């Protein structure tokens, strides 16, 4: 069994981006600029946005943080999106999710210009991904593909099961892994809450992407020997083992499943760090106008 070290791969990608930014600066080109919009003061969102800002500093990007109270109106938030869309100094931006219940998240996502949508959530970017056209791929699926590629994990002809059908992870993951390219060519089964006899599908899978959000859902009796497992889950559960009183748990029961795997991602330190690297990567593409010239 080999652990897939997402933290290390994320650092490698960020180092590569830092070198490219230095090259751009040496040529007198514009410094890439990422902006983040944060509504309210949710602890998880605060931590995630802070990580993005720090990553920008590491690679040599400019960064901006626009804060709104959780009482901000949808109209005011849409105005912020409009302003960022038309700010030529900002190459790409995100509106950190989740948003308060009184704001329509999809309306906000669709208000972003596709060429600044570095989260890859806009319908145009998703549509271009399906059609195999240049686009911003959403961060978690992009990060997973990078892990598979950089660990030289063979995907061609493999049976892959994706558990979870969210628009952010499950659905795009199933599309990317079935594409006719070096990191795709899998036969993909997309499973979800209505799938009958899930164990039958997982026990025949060469690769499993688990993105349910249910801690320790996937157990050893559900997988075969030599399987590759990518655990996307990050659920905070109460724990007496940590000073915070909480511990991050993945969707996979790691202690009993790992011994059957050829490769597996840990939680934390697996998929999580890759989302930051993917967002920085998309910002660089936006700055270089490589997706939308």
Look at residue 236 and give its three-state secondary structure.
Answer: strand
Q: Measured between alpha carbons, how far is 256 from 218 in angstroms, rounded to an integer?
A: 10
Question: From the candidates 14, 91, 96, 206, which is the catalytic residue?
Answer: 96
- Distant-in-sequence, close-in-space partners of 207: CB < 8 Å, separation ≥ 6: 148, 153, 155, 158, 159, 160, 161, 177, 186, 227, 228, 229, 230
Which member of 14, 91, 117, 119 is catalytic? 119
112 CB contacts (<8 Å, ≥6 apart)? Answer: 81, 85, 93, 95, 121, 122
Q: Where are the beta strands (DSSP E) in the chain?
A: 2-3, 33-39, 62-68, 92-95, 159-163, 187-191, 207-210, 227-231, 235-238, 246-249, 261-264
Catalytic residue among 52, 116, 249, 253: 52
- Of the candidates 162, 171, 292, the residue with the CA atom closest to the CA atom of residue 230: 162
Residue 52 annotated among the catalytic residues of the structure: yes
Burial category of 65 from C-beta neighbours within 10 Å (exposed 0-12, middle 13-18, buried 19 and up)? middle
CA neighbours closer than 13 Å in the CB half-sphere of residue 130 = 9
Q: Any idea which residues carry the catalytic annotation?
A: 52, 96, 119
């Amino acid at each position: 069994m080999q652990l897939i070290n997402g933290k290390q791969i994320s650092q490698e990608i960020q180092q590569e981006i830092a070198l490219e930014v230095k090259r751009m600066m040496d040529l007198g080109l514009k410094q890439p600029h990422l902006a983040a919009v944060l509504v309210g003061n949710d602890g998880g969102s605060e931590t995630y946005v802070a990580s993005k800002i720090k990553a920008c500093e590491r690679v040599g990007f400019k960064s901006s943080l626009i804060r709104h109270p959780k009482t901000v109106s949808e109209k005011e938030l849409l105005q912020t999106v409009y302003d960022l869309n038309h700010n030529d100094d900002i190459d790409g931006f995100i509106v950190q999710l989740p948003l308060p219940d009184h704001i329509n998240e999809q309306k906000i996502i669709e208000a972003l210009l596709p060429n600044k949508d570095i989260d890859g959530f806009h319908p145009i970017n998703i549509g271009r991904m399906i059609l195999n056209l240049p686009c911003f791929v959403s961060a978690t699926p992009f990060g997973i593909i990078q892990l598979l590629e950089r660990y030289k994990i063979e995907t061609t002809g493999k049976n892959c099961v994706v558990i979870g059908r969210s628009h952010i992870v499950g659905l795009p993951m199933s599309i990317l892994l079935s594409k006719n390219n070096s990191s795709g060519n899998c036969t993909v089964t997309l499973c979800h809450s209505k799938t009958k006899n899930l164990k039958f599908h997982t026990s025949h899978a060469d690769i499993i992407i688990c993105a349910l959000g249910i801690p320790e859902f996937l157990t050893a009796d559900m997988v075969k020997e030599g399987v590759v497992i990518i655990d996307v889950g990050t659920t905070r559960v109460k724990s007496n083992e940590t000073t915070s009183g909480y511990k991050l748990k993945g969707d996979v029961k790691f202690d009993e499943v790992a011994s059957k795997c050829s490769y597996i991602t840990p939680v934390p330190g697996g998929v999580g760090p890759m989302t930051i690297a993917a967002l920085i990567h998309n910002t660089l593409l936006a700055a270089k106008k490589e997706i939308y010239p």
